[in-house]
Amino acid sequence: MTAEKLTVADFEALIERGWRRSGYSCYQPTNSINCCPCYAIRCDAQAFKPSRSQRRVLTDMVNFLNTGKKNDGERLTSTRVAEEDPLLAEIKHSYTSVEGDTCAKFCKSCLSYAETG
């Protein structure tokens, strides 16, 4: 069953009856066959605040996606990024948002974001 055209009421009814959704697919888990039961993970997205270690992991991941280089255990600093790829550093720091703020406020690859959160 696909969830693409389900109404909210129908979807809620399925969830209340033990159905699960993954992407567009809806399914009813068979716990008697599976080795582990399914657990719903709920998170209040509006109130979520990442921890310091989560922010560091996010920063490392964004840096890896932007540069293709794995973190060698040292924290990547703006100076180190500039030394390794001056053009990339210039592009990142010249970025401005629609409101005109600098990337240091919004760009997750800037360490100032991760340090000040």
CB-CB neighbours of 98 under 10 Å? 5
pTM of the model: 0.33
pLDDT by residue (tens digit) across 18-39?
888 888 888 887 767 767 766 7
pLDDT by residue (tens digit) across 61-92?
888 888 877 776 665 555 555 556 666 555 55
pLDDT recorded at residue 113: 40
